[in-house]
Structure 1
Amino acid sequence: MFEKTLQDLVKGIRAHKRDPSAFISQSIAEIKLELRSVDPFIKAQAVRKLTYLQMIGYDMSWAAFSVIEVMTSARFGHKRVGYLAANQTFTEETDVILLTTNHLKKEFNSGNQYDIGLAINCLANIATPDLSRDLLGDVSALLTHQRSYVRKKALLVMYKLFINYPQGLRLCFDRIRDRLDDTDSGVVSCAVNIICELADKNPRNYLALAPRFFRLLTTSSNNWMLIKVVKLLGSLVPEEPRLARKLLEPLATIIQNTAAKSLLYECIHTVTLALPFTKKEDGSESRAVPVVVKLCADNLRNFIQDPDQNLKYLGLVGYVNLMQSHPRAVAESRELVLACLTDDDVTIRTRALELLTGMVTKRTLEELVVQLLKHVVAAEGAYREDLIAKIVLMCSRDKYAFLVDFQWYTGALVELARMDHGCRSAATGALLASQLIDVALRVESVRAFAVEAMAGLLLESMGGSSVNLNSNLTEVLLAAAWIVGEYGAHVGKIRGVRGGSGVDSGWAR
């Protein structure tokens, strides 16, 4: 009756806030005496206090054998204390961990399903290669237990055993596969979870299960299980392209009928993965593809328009995936994506910028760049540098495939260099400089204009005008000097360079 309880220990630590070390040392000494007691209540209470001390940073590895003693108690409440302590403190370096093997085997044969559940939970946390090898057969036998509670826990712990003992997967996989036909939906969900985790590393090994998962896709009403099924089928599509066409109809049905945003997005994501594999041998698409594409694009548009920032971000990610196979479906929402560049969340702005980069065509390039230049003026930090890099990428991609007017592009580069703090990083200054030189080298017809623009920059820098004269602009000025020197024949053609006005009038049209 004079032993401290856990509540007394916590109150004592709080009462010694300035320096609890002396109080804790005294408490540990008392706990060591309590662990020698033959009274199971006193011993369980001592382990409970040690578990709390371990949570606040004190080592209790020296009491591992006492923890096992409490684990083997006949009283369920004491077992819980021992299992919790083992879960928190046992590692592969714990010497006495092998002593739990026979105890866990005994618990797995218990008539009380909650005793079995406690033992399975403990095994999931303390499993080592040796324990996994020795107990795999016992856990596998529980997959056919009469209680669904036990079957679910046994299924879930199998994944942890396979991680520690990979050879066991071939021995027990048939029993796991049979649980896909279990009468309890919770057991089926657990089987789906573990197979999805296993298939994440090598989907090809689970291709034979595609018919079973397809049946679950069309018959199950459990949203969380459907999410796993959809993910797994999506990972199987690259291994079996014919599966892509079969998935379109059931996934479209779920997209139209489900109210769960998580399942809706997962189905759209899987459809976008499957679309590149839906083409027939002659290169044509089935009639269902345009309908499904429009359905996905409409739902993703709703995601982007949602006030929830997470859904907006997912909508942009979905558009990026859809754009890879059907860019026209995404291009229709260009104004909506442009509006995202003013969002407060930098991750949304960055994703929208990535999306706009892929929307570029010869007709829309100049218009998009002009709008992005307006955002460069208001942007700051890394996002500003990213904007400039994306503008250059859009114009120079595929060897300037989408660029028609090189004089306009040269003017745009000069304007970026002139912007206040436009060259915060050396990388941005070097990027602009390399583009100016590259255009002047490649396009003969733009050289006269380039010389005029570069001479304007040099004169401004020497005159101390408003040009941003920081160390990063040095790269641009070096490029300007090289262009003027290399193509000096065009210097005589320069007409009244005053403050660069000729450059501004050349491209801002």
Structure 2
Amino acid sequence: MSIKLRELIRSIRACKTAAEERAVVARECALIRTAFKEDDNQFRHRNVAKLLFIHMMGYPTHFGQMECLKLIASSKFPEKRVGYLGLTQLLDENTEVLMLVTNSIKNDMSNDNQYVNGLALCALGNIGSNEMCRALAREVENMMASPNPYIRKKAALCAMRIVRKVDEIEDKFNSKIGNLLEDRNHGVLLAGCSLLTALLEVNPSYMKEFRRYVPSLVRALRNMVTSGYTNAAEYDIAGITDPFLQAKILRLLRLFGERSADATDEMNDILAQVATNTEGTKNTGNAILYECVLTIMSIEAESGLRVLGINILGRFLLSRDNNIRYVALATLQRVVNVDQQVMQRHRNTIIDCLKDADISIRKRALDVTYSLVDEANIKSMTKELLNYLLVAEPDFKEELCSKICMAVEKFSPNRRWQIDTLIKVMCLGGNFVKEQQREKFCRVVAATPELHSYTVIKLYFNMKESLSQEALVHVGVWCLGEFGDHLVSGKAVGPDSQPIHVTPGDVLDLLYDVVRKPPTGEKAPATHCLVTAALIKLVTRCPSEFEKIRKLLRRFDCSLHVDLQQRSCEFLELLGSDWDSHRAGILDRMPVPEKEIGGAETRVVGDASIDEVPTNTSKGKPGKSDLLDLNDLLDAPREQQAPANQAPPPSSGGDLLDLLDAAPAANPPAPQATPEGFLDIFSGTPAASQEAPPMVAFEKNGLKVTFFPRKEADGSVTVLARFANTLSVPMTNFVFEAAVPKYVTLSIQPATGQVLPPQTDLVTQTMSCVNSTNGEKGLLMKLRIGYVCNGAPVQEMGQVGGFPPGF
């Protein structure tokens, strides 16, 4: 004979090893199998009970499934109870033998004993298959009308299973919902709410039909909230009347009130009562308040009620219980867009949660803080986050830096503030700034020519102070290579209005320090690759340091890192004399992908002029004396500038249109022309066009500008300007601008390069003109040309006429 259940438990607990435990279980399972074969009815329920315990420990017990069915068919309640327990634990809805128990469950549903009825309903509600639910649905429906509240409750819960398993009879219990919701027994009412929630989840179209029960739910909730409720003592838990039922009703009201103003009006008062009368000193009350707030935020509640709900969450944030604070932050994250103004009142409390010792609360608080950022508070919120970045733990800094960068990109008031803030982030947590954020920073800088000088100078001095922040070093090295000419030009001034003097040697020394002290680990080769790219770029920006750059590049031509070695060898080859005429064009600034600049492309630049020494004034603001000459040339002409993707030379004083306070005309750019064009098959001339002989538009100090005009079939004039440098040194930072009379509309394409190599004419620029007088008035142009030669800025003015008649 097998041992009792308690003896089996004691034997298993006494085992010291897993092998001993397996031996005890195997021996007992063998004895149980023997008893089942001998059809031992006396101890069948004991053996099934022991199988349940063995099943809980993870051992196979499938051989006892049929014994559960035999126990269910027994007339003794203790055996029937063990049989149903075994049925629900040892079998599931996919077990084939489950259909054999359908008739036993049906018989037990009509039993005179309410507890037998309850066992049958529980079994069907837990593991009933589609076939079983369909076969027993009528019996469950009849039991929902039973005078016994115990049976009504069990039947309603069983009906939830049937609704979810059988689609075609989901409406079978709709007529019973009203009686369940009007029941005075809390258990029946709770089961009715659960059944109604399941119905609405399965078929949301029932929402309109069941909204008529909102007054019943409101009345039941008011009875529980009222302190003088007669049965309050029976359901009291920590001073709250039946918190489980209150929470269930609040969730149901949330479903009914969503997108329904009429239903919301019916529940506004009771929600206000729950929010104000529920005590929040214990978890029981906090649970009700939590559900109440979620309901308020989900329905069409009035503003005062929403304020009350958010204030409740604000009180949760002041709790000492981490769970309550976490729940509050999670809820605030869900409702942050409901009423931003009210949320701002709790901003300081939310920010204080960033300093919590619990990492989960800090992360959730960061999410809420990020959601609170908008254009109105971006500066103050960013300041708070930067202050916290100073003291944040290392494992939290990466996410914090990412949130700051995203907020700045999205809401920055202007480009200068955006660049300043991102540099601060990289100075404080540069080792945690993601690669994607660094690339976005570089694109924003490249797309803002007015701030090239300001940015490269600021990065230079920040790098001089510390080379420990990886992101700062990487973007700084990139900017030194691209815009190093601005750094050594001597045109920038500091806060004390004194010129900033940085020599090319200082720039090379800083890069040498980066090479000697790069970020450790796998990031060192990546840093060296950026340094080599910056060095080769500086060949044209700082030509006086040619040999020093060559020496630094030779440090890497034998590197074990393949990419670094290849870069250095190719760059050293580029320094050879064979490439003298092409080097300047190859090392021109990188173009900016217009569609990838990010959220700042529509921002204003900000105050950039205070950091530039303009040509015509010593007080930091661009003068207009010589610029107005261009404007006054031909009876107040319209001006157009190419949508340049490179920076103007420091001497140009900034953007021509900005300085003249003129807005560019909204004309689509003309297609770029080539000297050859598409030749007509017979005449050998460009099809449907009229070419004119080349004309020299400007020639001075080694610079020659030649125009190739051509009249198109639509009457417009395309002018290809070719720029020749006859000197032995390159001309860098080249910018070509033009102005035309009012009767002419001018559109200029970007130049093919910003550096004119010596003894070449490789750089071209295309202009398109539309003469509104159809050639009655001749085409005239006023030119302004700027470039840097031998480190000195040059600016020239010119005038072009003599275009062929009809152009």
How would you bin the TM-score normalised by the shorter chain? Answer: 0.7 to 0.9
Q: Residue 467 of structure 1 corresponds to which residue in structure 2?
A: 467
In the TM superposition, what are the counterparts of 1:357-376 in structure 2 within 5 Å? 357-362=370-375, 364-376=377-389
Matches within 5 A, 1:193-342: 193-200=194-201, 202-220=203-221, 221=224, 222-259=242-279, 260-274=285-299, 277=300, 289-342=302-355
Q: Which deviates further from its counterpart, 200-209 or 340-349?
A: 200-209
**Kindly tell me: are residues 244 and 383 of structure 1, through their superposed partners in 2, closer, same or farther at Cα, counting changes over 3 Å?**
farther
| Deviation of the 1:35 alpha carbon | 1.6
Distance 1:478 1:71, change over 3 A: farther
1:452 maps to 457
- Alignment partner, residue 419 of structure 2: 410
Alpha carbons of structure 1 residues 351 and 22: separation in structure 2 relative to 1, 3 Å:
closer
SS in 2 for 1:261: helix
Alignment of 1:50-449 (within 5 A): 50-200=51-201, 202-220=203-221, 221=224, 222-259=242-279, 260-274=285-299, 277=300, 289-362=302-375, 364-397=377-410, 400=411, 403-404=412-413, 406-419=415-428, 422-424=430-432, 428-441=434-447, 443-449=448-454
Q: Contact (CA 8 Å) 1:258, 1:264: kept in 2 or not? A: yes
AA partner of residue 389 (structure 1): S
1:283: which partner in 2?
A: none
* AA in 1 matched with 2:253: L
Distance 1:368 1:7 in 2: 63
Percent identity, aligned pairs only, is 23
C-alpha change, 1:317 and 1:56, in structure 2 (3 Å) is closer
SS at match of 1:146: coil
TM-aligned CA distance change 1:155 to 1:290, over 3 Å: closer
**Residues 1:42 and 1:290: Cα distance change in structure 2 (over 3 Å):** closer
Distance 1:65 1:391, change over 3 A: same
Q: Distance in 2 between matches of 1:230 and 1:359?
A: 28
| Contact kept? 2:163, 2:169, Cα under 8 Å | yes
CA distance in 2, matches of 1:387, 1:193: 42
Question: Is the CA contact 2:325–2:361 (under 8 Å) kept in the aligned structure 1?
Answer: yes
CA–CA distance in structure 2, aligned partners of residues 301 and 29 of structure 1: 61
Question: How many residue pairs are counted as aligned between the two chains?
Answer: 473
Inter-partner Cα distance in structure 1 for 2:188 and 2:439: 62
**Counterparts in 2 of 1:479 and 1:65: CA distance versus 1, 3 Å:** same
**Per-residue deviation, 1:46:** 1.9
* CA apart distance, 1:108: 0.2
**Residue 51 of structure 1: CA displacement?**
1.9
In structure 2, the CA distance between the partners of 1:168 and 1:301, relative to structure 1 (3 Å rule), is same
Note if contact 2:48-2:83 (Cα within 8 Å) is conserved in structure 1.
yes
Following TM superposition, by how much is the alpha carbon of 1:64 offset from its aligned partner in structure 2, in angstroms? 1.6
Letter of the structure 2 residue corresponding to residue 422 of structure 1? G
Residue deviations 1:428-456, cap 9 Å, x none?
13303312421541x44433211212444
Query: How far 1:474 moved relative to its partner?
Result: 6.8
RMSD value over aligned CA atoms? 2.9
Q: TM-score, normalised by structure 1?
A: 0.84
Distance, in Å, in 1 between the alignment partners of 2:53 and 2:139 is: 32
The structural deviation recorded for 1:490 is: 6.4
Query: How far apart in 2 are the matches of 1:325 and 1:439?
Result: 36
Change (3 A) 1:99 1:345: same
CA contact (8 A) 2:2 2:32 kept: no
| SS of residue matched to 1:144 | coil
Q: Cα 1:213–1:491, aligned 2, differ >3 Å: closer, same or farther? A: farther
Residue 284 of structure 1 corresponds to which residue in structure 2? none
Deviations 1:41-100 (A, max 9, x none): 222222222222222222121222122111211111111221121111112342321110
Structure 2 unaligned spans of 5+? 225-241, 280-284, 493-499, 512-610, 612-807
Larger fraction in helix: 1
CA distance 1:207–1:233, change in 2 (3 Å): farther
Shift of 1:321: 4.4
Larger Rg: 2
Bigger Cα displacement from structure 2, 2-11 vs 157-166: 2-11
**Superposed displacement of residue 101, structure 1:** 0.7
State the alpha-carbon separation in 1 of the partners of residues 347 and 473 from structure 2: 36
Q: Using the TM superposition, give the Cα deviation of residue 356 of structure 1 relative to its aligned residue in structure 2, in angstroms.
A: 2.4
Shift of 1:391: 1.2
Deviations 1:259-296 (A, max 9, x none): 2222222222222223xx46xxxxxxxxxx34324322
Contact residue 300 and residue 319 of structure 1 kept, 8 A: yes
How far did residue 257 of structure 1 move?
1.3
Q: CA-to-partner distance for each residue in 1:281-325, whole Å, 9 max, x for gaps? A: xxxxxxxx3432432233222111111222222333444445413
Q: Which residue of 2 aligns with 1:281?
A: none
Whole-angstrom distance in 2 between the partners of 1:291 and 1:93: 52
- Post-superposition CA distance 1:351-385 (Å, at most 9, x none): 32223223335553222212211211222345211
Q: Distance in 2 between matches of 1:348 and 1:165?
A: 43
Looking at structure 2, the residues matched to 363 and 172 of structure 1 have their Cα atoms a distance apart, in angstroms, of 54
Q: How far off is 1:37 after superposition?
A: 4.1
Change in CA separation of 1:9 and 1:351 when aligned onto 2, cut-off 3 Å: closer
More strand by share: 2
Quote how far apart the aligned CAs of 1:113 are: 0.4
Q: Which moved more, 1:37-46 or 1:190-199?
A: 37-46
The alpha carbon displacement at 1:13 in A equals 3.2
C-alpha separation between the residues in 2 aligned to 1:61 and 1:322? 49
Supply the distance in 2 between the matched residues of 1:142 and 1:38 (Cα, whole angstroms).
Answer: 35
CA distance in 2, matches of 1:416, 1:263: 42
Kindly tell me: are residues 153 and 375 of structure 1, through their superposed partners in 2, closer, same or farther at Cα, counting changes over 3 Å? same
Q: What code does the residue aligned with 1:267 have?
A: C
- How does the TM-score come out when normalised to structure 2? 0.55
Asked if 2 retains the 8 angstrom alpha-carbon contact of 1:107 and 1:119, the reply is yes
Q: Which residue of 1 aligns with 2:524?
A: none
Counterparts of 2:94 and 2:372 in 1: how far apart (Å)? 56
